[in-house]
A = this chain, B = another copy of it.
Amino acid sequence: MATSGKNGTPPAARQVPERCAQCTDRAERLFCNLPEEAIERFDEIAMQISYPSRSIVFEEGQRAAGIFVVCSGQIKLAATSRDGRTMILKIAVPGDVLGLTATLNDLPYEVTAETLEPCQIRSVRRRDFLEFLSHFGDVSRHTAQVIAREYHEVFLDARRLALSGSAAGRLAQLLLDWARTGSCGKPELRFTMALTHEELANMAGTSRETVTRLLNQFERDEVIARHGASISILRPVEMERMVG
């Protein structure tokens, strides 16, 4: 299976600093971009962990133990039904925070988090995190905003599944949603998409074979083009039209 996700990143975990206070990527990461004072406290309560590729960070149904901040690497978030169907919710990238909503609600984790490559992750236990929030008002505001963004992403998933009538529509919408969010900020009509067809199918709510057929058809119809693992959306308008 391909092991790198939506937008190209190095296949191995980059070295990350010992402490968040020294992290140079902080500024561009919504959650991490905290006031000095808060970051220092965060460094006290956070634990730095390295996960090998293909390991489970936490599992759907486990009572939430705390939150996980992705420092490097990619992590697949997926939920499974009793009869073995899988829904891939998203591929988390550095800067994403996992387990926030379950931790705040004191509910079981909604999904299983599995590393797709070696990952560096900082984790904070539930109790410490809640205390951290109540001490730093700014952090609560950041957190609210981070969850708001996650909400929006899941909303798009639900919307796509409910409103994009056909498999073609859902796949087209998925690619458009990706092009729009561009993995980090700016929309880009060309992006690297190294998921397998099976994984795409699990995100679009369809089957592996249908994804294969549709991608080929999109290419024949010249609404997309593929060069290796990268995809260009040639005619976004045409694509919108297929959605429903």
Q: Is the CB of B159 within 8 A of A100?
A: no
A12 is an interface residue with CB less than 8 A from chain B? no
Most B CB within 10 A of own CB, among A85, A147, A162: A162
CB distance from A219 to the nearest CB of B (A): 24
Query: Within the assembled complex, what's the spacing in Å between the Cα atoms of A154 and B158?
Result: 7
Chain B residues positioned under 8 Å from A89 (CB to CB): 155, 158
Chain B residues positioned under 8 Å from A150 (CB to CB): 151
Pick the contact of A81: B83, B100, B137, B164 (CB < 8 A): B164
Chain B residues positioned under 8 Å from A151 (CB to CB): 101, 147, 150-151, 154
**Taking CB as reference atom, which chain B residue is nearest A82?**
B244
Q: Which residues of A, 147-202, contact B by the 8 Å Cβ criterion?
A: 147-152, 154-155, 157-159, 161-165
A63 is an interface residue with CB less than 8 A from chain B? no
Chain B residues positioned under 8 Å from A79 (CB to CB): 159, 162-163
A134 is an interface residue with CB less than 8 A from chain B? yes
* A120-147 interface code vs B (CB 8 A; 1 in, 0 out): 0000000000000110111011011101
Chain B residues positioned under 8 Å from A163 (CB to CB): 79-81, 85, 87
A205 is an interface residue with CB less than 8 A from chain B? yes
A107 is an interface residue with CB less than 8 A from chain B? yes
User: Which A-B residue pairs are the 4 nearest by beta carbons?
Assistant: A137-B137, A140-B140, A161-B161, A81-B163
Residues of A within 8 A of B (CB): 79-83, 85, 87, 89, 100-101, 104-105, 107, 110, 133-134, 136-138, 140-141, 143-145, 147-152, 154-155, 157-159, 161-165, 205, 243-244
Given contacts A89-B158, A107-B152, A161-B161, 6 further A-B contacts (CB under 8 A): A81-B163, A82-B244, A101-B152, A104-B145, A110-B152, A143-B144
